[in-house]
Amino acid sequence: MRTATAVAHPNIALVKYWGKRDVARNLPAVPSLSLTLDRFTTTTTVSPADRDEVVLGGAPAPDDEAGRVLGLLDRLAPDRPRVRVVSANNFPSAAGLASSASAFAALALAGAAALRRPLDRVALSVLARQGSGSACRSLWGGFVEWRMGERDDGADSHGVPVAPADHWDVRMVVGVVSSAKKAVGSTTGMTRARTSPYWPAWEATAAADVAEARAAVLARDLERLGAVMERSTFKMHATTSTAASPFLYWQANTVACVQAVWSLRERGVPAWVTMDAGPNVKVLCAPDAADAVSAAMAPYAERTIALAPGGEPTVELA
């Protein structure tokens, strides 16, 4: 083997992945569509070593996280030699963005190059998906769709690029309501949400939302994209609050940010909200509206960060 270093960006789902039809393989119950973000990156180096070692953000990884990382490399090359994996984000975890998407995309790319497994981007997306579902979308820049696929082995469940980063200059403004670790992880949340009586409606309407979002992206129609993005997020969160044992990712300031963005929109600034498995609010808007959106959320957020569409991941050999 040899040493390889990959760099990948996180992504935010505009139409959410929420629900697994196969938990072990990370196969989704619904399709999704995301925007890859610029500036923020995970950089991961895989190199030969005497014993397996995983270093995340400068510190030895806890056993469960090291197991997930090494497990992905085992899938790639069951007979692999021992490796050292060093991974770090250039964005603080306090940024409130899930880093598992960029992390597993970078790991798949660096691992395949280091272990001399020449996989195409679709195969890398399939691999990254098994580390974290949303990671399969970070193998491309810009706007990316995750097709559910039909096969039991998941070989047809991967990202598909819809439009590159330079197709459309939009902003995603992140309102960091809390940087604390989420109380209910995404896998647990998806399992619990399945008990909601609204779950069948969630599953039944997702494909139409993805089709609507794809058309809006291709037409560069911000209002159409914002509207379907908000519908998707509120349907997702409706399944948590109506689960057999209800739970909510939002905090009081999450709702305050949503209301602030909506009142801004009523005053003529086009901006739409989305939330994931945590309390932070991400707002889709035009570049010239980003300052107004940040100012509207500032009273309720620890910080705000405006991000543009990001590009492709990269890999280099040492």
Note the residues at the interface with ligand PMV (CB under 6 A): 13, 16-18, 32, 98, 100, 132-134, 186, 276-277
Burial class (CB in 10 A: 0-12, 13-18, 19+), 37: buried
Give the pairing type, strands 83-89 and 53-56: parallel
Between 16 and 171, whose beta carbon lies closer to ligand PMV?
Answer: 16
Between 17 and 300, whose beta carbon lies closer to ligand PMV?
Answer: 17
CA-to-CA distance for 156 and 18, rounded, in angstroms? 18
Between 212 and 276, whose beta carbon lies closer to ligand PMV?
Answer: 276
Least separation in angstroms between residue 280's CB and ligand PMV is 11
Left (φ > 0), alpha (ψ -120 to 50) or beta: where does 58 sit?
Answer: left
Left (φ > 0), alpha (ψ -120 to 50) or beta: where does 220 sit?
Answer: left
Least separation in angstroms between residue 2's CB and ligand PMV is 29
CA-to-CA distance for 120 and 194, rounded, in angstroms? 34
Least separation in angstroms between residue 72's CB and ligand PMV is 13
Between 91 and 289, whose beta carbon lies closer to ligand PMV?
Answer: 91
Least separation in angstroms between residue 13's CB and ligand PMV is 3
Between 185 and 287, whose beta carbon lies closer to ligand PMV?
Answer: 185
Least separation in angstroms between residue 16's CB and ligand PMV is 4
CA-to-CA distance for 122 and 24, rounded, in angstroms? 20
